[in-house]
Amino acid sequence: MEKNQQSTAEQYSEQIEQLMELGRTQGYLTFAEINDLLPEDAIDPEYYDKLLQTLQNDAGIPVLDEAPESDDMMLSDTIPDEDAVEEATQILSNVESEIGRTTDPVRMYMREMGTVDLLTREDEISIAKRIEGGIDEVQTSIAAYPEALNGLLKNYDDVEKGNFRLTDLITGFVDPNAEIEEHNGLDEDFSDEDDEEESSNADVEDNEDEEDNESESTSDSSDSDNSIDPEVAREKFQQLREQHSKTLAVIEKHGRSGKRAQDQIALLGEIFKQFRLVPKQFDLLVLSMKEMMKRVRYQERQLQKILVDIAGMPKDDFEKIITTNGSNSEWVAKALKI
């Protein structure tokens, strides 16, 4: 990174020297020559103002809108002084180095945006897959604590009673079996996009009035077309509820850390991954997990205070026991007997 900054600074200095030399030779500079010689990321407002001021006031090089006629140049008495030009070059080099080290986020973004390639079609697909994978991972983690789903199931009960809208709860469902077909279809859709765009543009020009008349009649039906099928939602929530109840029953009977419970939790996670929640509901679930973790940490601190600070248990032993027996309600009594 430092090497890149150093090479960029050297490049700017060379361009400034070339600009000064051109101005000294011609006796003037035009705005077009300045813009052509210096890179775009060097011409931010602060640097550009300082550049013009230094050229005209310090170096004595006038900056014009366009190149003057030869007769006008003969009448001009302005001859740039070589010492002044050298001094101005040094000033601009120093100014550039200061601006180049700016921490202003807008300037930093403007300087760096040209060095980053735009996303390709493959990049967009990759990012979309990573987003979906992240959502799946979060929802799987939530399903590992089935109690966190109680609020979601209660909200769906309110939907069935007519007290809550389904579209305020979920945006739809994901079919895990259709994932491969969906991504394979993306390439075909993108490949035909350009051809379709050209033909659609011609159709839009010919049928613009007709589309305007039809837009009002189709706007009301668009909501129903995009709505979630209540029967599908009822089936999915029934599956989630049954597995949720079964998982809680196994945890209560065999403990959370046992293989039976972990298998049921995994099944619950697979079902819950098919749900796509609205952002508000998703955030509420994540918040409930954070609140649950706060309560767990508080209880751990209370146990540590009793067992380590009061009872004298070594802290290393306490951390080892609570890590492996955190969900076992009987380990505290056993630890007190040690």
Shared domain for 186 and 312, answered yes or no, is no
Shared domain for 43 and 80, answered yes or no, is yes
Task: Read off the pTM.
Answer: 0.50
What is the per-residue pLDDT for 265? 93
What is the per-residue pLDDT for 44? 59
Beta strand ranges found along the chain (DSSP E): 29-30, 63-64, 170-173, 275-277
Cα angle value 162/167/173 (rounded, 5°): 120
What is the per-residue pLDDT for 1? 47
The length of the chain is 338
What is the per-residue pLDDT for 50? 73
* Domain housing 181: 121-212+230-277
Q: Which of 62, 97, 115 is the last residue of a domain?
A: 115
**Dihedral over alpha carbons 10, 15, 21, 24 (to 10 degrees):** -120
Residue type, 29: L
The encoded tokens of residue 210 equal: 């007709």
Shared domain for 255 and 325, answered yes or no, is no
Q: How far is CA 87 from CA 25, 60, 66, 100, 181, in A?
A: 16, 11, 26, 20, 67
Chain-centroid distance, C-alpha 7: 31
Shared domain for 24 and 96, answered yes or no, is yes
Q: Which of 64, 80, 115 is the last residue of a domain?
A: 115
What is the per-residue pLDDT for 317? 81
Q: Total structural domains in the chain?
A: 3
What is the per-residue pLDDT for 180? 46
Shared domain for 271 and 132, answered yes or no, is yes
- Judged by DSSP in three states, 174 sits in coil
Residue at 219 is within a domain: no
Cα angle value 35/36/39 (rounded, 5°): 75
Shared domain for 111 and 129, answered yes or no, is no
Residue at 102 is within a domain: yes
Shared domain for 28 and 105, answered yes or no, is yes
Residue type, 9: A
Report d(CA 154, CA 160) in Å as an integer.
Answer: 10
Shared domain for 48 and 108, answered yes or no, is yes
Is the CB of residue 68 less than 8 Å from the CB of residue 28?
Answer: yes
The encoded tokens of residue 201 equal: 């543009």
Of 234, 95, 68, residue with least CA distance to 159: 234
Cβ neighbours of residue 254 closer than 8 Å, sequence gap 6 or more: 260, 261
> CATH number for the domain including 247?
1.10.601.10
Shared domain for 168 and 25, answered yes or no, is no
What is the per-residue pLDDT for 286? 86
Residue at 282 is within a domain: no
Residue at 220 is within a domain: no
Shared domain for 20 and 69, answered yes or no, is yes
Q: Which of 97, 115, 133 is the last residue of a domain?
A: 115
Across the chain, which has 338 residues, the per-10-residue mean pLDDT values are: 53 74 83 74 63 78 79 51 64 53 63 73 92 89 88 92 91 73 50 51 51 47 59 93 94 86 92 91 87 86 86 83 69 65
Half-sphere exposure of 89 (CA within 13 A, CB side): 20
Please count the other Cβ atoms lying within 10 Å of the Cβ belonging to residue 251: 21
Residue at 48 is within a domain: yes
Residue at 284 is within a domain: no
Shared domain for 106 and 139, answered yes or no, is no
Residue type, 172: G
Report d(CA 26, CA 181) in Å as an integer.
Answer: 66
Residue at 224 is within a domain: no
Shared domain for 111 and 130, answered yes or no, is no
